[in-house]
Amino acid sequence: MIESYIPIFLILAVAVVFGVVSANMSWLLGPQRPNRAKNSTYESGMEPVRTAHDRFSVKYYMVAVLFILFDIEVVFMYPWAVQYRNLGLYGFVEMVVFIGILLVGFVYVIKKGALQWD
C-alpha cells in the first residue's frame, strides 16, 4: 500500500530541488547591481503610496468561506460515487436528498447576494 507512494515522495523531492536550484540560479549567474530606485516597489513609475499589506475587499473572504463549505460537501460525494453501482436505488435517493439540501443553501447564498460582484 504505502509502497506505491514512494515514487510520489521521490517526484516531490526532485521537483522541490529543481525549483530551489533554478530559483537561485540567476542570483549566481546574473549581475548584482542594486540601487534604491531599482529596488523600490513598482507602481507605474510613481512613488509608491503606503504598503500593499493593507485591508482588502471582504468579498474574497466570502468566496473562500463558501468554497470551504461546498468543498466539504463535494468530499462526501467521492466515497458515494465509488460505491454507487453497489448502492442502487437507495444510494441514488440518498444523494438526491443530500444535493437538495445543498441546493437550498446555495439558493440562500445567491439570494443573500454573497456572490454579487459590482
Partner 1 sequence: MDVLDIAIALIKIVVMFVVVLLTVAELVYTERKISAWIQNRVGPNRVGWLGLLQPYADVVKLLLKEDIVPAAANRFIHTLAPVISIGVAFSTLAVIPIAGPTITLFGRTVHMVIADVNVGILYVLALTSMGVYGLTLSGWASNNKYSLLGGLRSAAQMISYELSMGLSLIGVIMITGSLQLTDIVHHQHGWMWNLVLQPVGFITFLVASFAETNRAPFDLPEAEPELVGGYHTEYSSFKFALFFLAEYANMITSSAVITTLYLGGWQVPYLETFGLSDGWMVLVQILAFMLKVAFLLFFFQWVRWSVPRFRYDQLMNLGWKVMLPLAIANIVLTGALLLFL
Which positions touch partner 1 (CB under 8 A)?
3-8, 10-12, 14-16, 18-20, 22-27, 29-34, 36, 38-44, 48, 51-53, 56, 59-60, 63-64, 67, 70-71, 74, 77-78, 81-85, 88-89, 92, 95-96, 99, 102-103, 106, 110, 115, 117-118
Q: Which amino acid is at 60?
A: Y
User: CA–CA separation, 86 vs 98, rounded Å?
Assistant: 18
Contact 62, 114 (CB under 8 A): yes
CB of 28 to partner 1, least distance (A): 9
Residue 50 φ/ψ region, left for φ over 0, alpha for ψ in the -120 to 50 degree band, beta for the rest: left
CB of 108 to partner 1, least distance (A): 13
